[in-house]
Structure 1
């Protein structure tokens, strides 16, 4: 799973004036002057007075700033300023966060020898007969999924290192070297002789899990854009950030990577229809079905029954360290979402296409 760290946001935070300051403008002038000082007319070298280039530079920068402001106004005109509100002046579908955005393209690559390490949102392993790829989505059994695949890959070494599937952590995971970034890389290294598994989660459930872990229980107040435990504040800011990403460029912070739509991951535009999809759950019969579906997938790819029995035992009895299921805190926010129509409206705007393409009811 890719953990990008909490990087400085790349998005523009407001719609104010140019924030570069005099120093940056002077640097731009100087660069323009040095690059444009000389030109040739036939074979004779001519020099243009510096003042002319300064004037040209000033007008060029002013023009660029104006174009940027116009671009931002165009973006803002298509936005719903407050995702909690009705936004009656804009058709509802135009206020939705787009699906299938190609997110998390910052990566390092290796050739997967014993010394190399790759940090990404895909994991693969080689079996004697067939191979498997598992798409890892933040807040969707990603740590446990990584550990499960790791155990299948080499159960002897996994157990010898005193590991267990449900006690693995991201920072100390056993099979980091088995990870890779893109689906194209997976196809290249596995020679297309594999099947892909995607475990999805109800968007409401995933959001609550992320919010309680990252915004409420976290010791870092900066994770959730300074909103703390204020869900309405967080939804307003995260919605704005996600909308800007689809129109400008991606941003990678802890909050963004944990709350971005599931359809933004794993190249789902191309992989969803050709993958085995399993629904995540930690409740009753739905949890049993999830485990059964995962084991059916692994069995089809040749995983021995003794390993499947161990996986079933771990997934049935164990509980991952980051799980918030069943806590009073989680129930509090579940109730808030049920009772607050404006919060549900904002969630629909962010995750509408997750509900649609992954088959969950709003």
Structure 2
């Protein structure tokens, strides 16, 4: 069990960033990393979005010589008006257990026509009152390489164990438990044909049939046979074929490097794509859909065009499809994933990034 203490960390310009309240040693290391790597500074706000503390060079970002000039201002004063609803929606999701990220949010500051940043945020308590630490960073995702090589090895081991457990559970459910139940069902069928008692046996048979179907469905979620037997590209093509409509053209491009990734990671990518295609309301009016999966070094990017309402702006899109984004975010969290929207030529492009 990790020891809990109070810590203080030094921010970029040498001032002390106070991390008040109880934090674990892991929180301290992560917070220290953000403070040192971010050249934009950080703030602490209350639930009313009022800025209580400002450290680092964040004041210079808004044309002030001292960060203390920001004290007492509203968090929303730091961003363009159109970002308010998106910030409010994001802050409602913040928890005590981990850092959350809001990527590509536009600042309201002099000297820049458009300046975009990412926010790393976590909730904590000071004397029973909630507080939020917000670290400002450049739009480049700091989680590409936020930990040491030793931590990376540990994380890789955890991923392998996680993937092996999923695969073993899926195979056991399908090849052992479901098959045994099917055998019991066949024995009941034989007994009923030989000795009768249909009124008692038929309900049991129907129940077993439903249980076998549900078990097979869960097993396929954990370890899809189509991925195992045919590979990622064939599985995606089969998925696209099943969702194809006469009025819609679906174009796709899959990076062949995906075959070098672990089975668990391929499954995660497949499930994300499947989650999007299953939401008929997303693309039922679209005449052309585009799916691209690109891999560059440790980053895997899934780009989807034509799936979101092009008439909504970025904030409205996040709010409208919040349930879907929540499902996708949970799937990709173990791979330091992020979900973002890019408006390009009147179309809202959904961009999902993962790192492994």
TM range (shorter): under 0.3
Q: TM-score, normalised by structure 2?
A: 0.20
Q: Comparing both structures, which one devotes a greater share of its residues to strand?
A: 2
| Structure with higher RCO (Cα < 8 A, 6+ apart) | 1
TM-score by length of 1: 0.19
